Structure 1
């Protein structure tokens, strides 16, 4: 997390970085030669930098947000666990095939008192990507095998046994598509998690912190509150894969991102998520401390609300929430006896 974000420069950020470099050079020159007063020029350039920064990040396209969500310096699950909890005890293995480092999880004390909540023990589970070549290979870039989802389910059932809330952090390009994963029941493992999470009798708070791709994300993404960072994305398919299917080429990934409507602002309009968690200007990697604080407050609010519900109320509300997704109105054109409205639940 100590590496400069400028090392991984995104294309649309180049004009801003060039202007920031000019500002740094002018400040260095002013410091070296006190007799030369450059304060007016520096102030003017600072104003231009702030205006350009606001202009760029206030008008991001959907594809640009996808790029920010994939930034290699963006905070990952273990970074959030370290910042928001204490006493984290990682638990391993699915008690069937083995452990999966693409999903991490364990018991920890959520430091809720720092975020207008209360300190409490939670089960925290999330996808984990790697920071270098070795760790990315080890964690398969955050793409879980079936044992990862089965490990997550084992931990969630443990949380339910002891009456502890579950917090999941989503950040994956998808479930691992290897032959061995399919042989060990990848689809069944994800489907089983959906079924079991729908009836888990403890609060579940889901936070999309980066990429939320298809069933790979949804396998630990059924919850009472779905929170999503401002520059994260959540969709049934990645823009590149969508482009390759529709246009037989990855060249139309920007058009695919627009069509998929995969950003937080899109999804909250369709009630797929419940809250957008704001990020620092430029993305969570620019100011991780602020990102951690914003996520902590959002999780604390969600837990404060959910703890007031008993198990029956919790499950009824959860099922109703997901039942409402995909509902749409079909309006007749006169041929259907005056144009009746029909509500259809997918």
Structure 2
């Protein structure tokens, strides 16, 4: 679920520079589809159903961008990527954007030459253990075997935590969340560690979710968000402001249920600018005036997307917490649309 730091930064940077030069916005418009990198499968965030139809919290970001640019939320080619392959896929131009539970870090932003366009989920690394293990704290895991995805910040955080607490562990390397789940349930490791949201999503698929415990420790900051290549600022603006549009829509009370009505015009100038009934915000980005309206209609505002995919009424069962609007004590906050 996380991100490769030691990936061959120079190679990735070189690929990124070449791919960005073409102008991704023009490429997506000419192609008629958005190529969006996602995880190989994580319930609630990005997973295909029996018919191959992708759905989830991250998938909704891809669909919103496709709707904003192409007017069609279905015009997306989803490209499954692992912790190891995701950055090469983005840098080489195989995908136009990455929306895959990826943590915004200094080295990824600066050294790997990517541009994070915002945070769509504020997370932190946690630990899951079988209830039968009888452990109530991660500090009690001395000598444990730990399933951990390779090529991720999780590896580095885990090493730091165990070293700081003077305890030891034996890593069990895995490539994908599906492999981690299989190994963990088979008893190949005592513990599975990744982003807490990913642990909740994984546990939701178990036959007996109550038989597994998320330990209280959160050992890192994991601001997750979509990213694009450095140097392609026009495209970065599109992805950034599409995410901002979903966040602002929730704050402003614009929903999938009332958007048709309020898009005709309201007494709130910011809503009018957001939905294109006044001003020229779409034109500034090379998009239609109703780009944000299309993005919001794709799956609802941020709150609707959260609730329907990973919220407390879903099997994943996540509370808003830090991901509540700033007006409700959370960290969600969009710059103004003006």
Same-fold call, TM > 0.5?
Answer: no
Answer 1 or 2: which has greater helix percent: 1
Higher relative contact order (CA 8 A, sep 6+): 2
User: Larger C-alpha radius of gyration, 1 or 2?
Assistant: 1
Q: TM-score, normalised by structure 2?
A: 0.23
Q: TM-score, normalised by structure 1?
A: 0.23
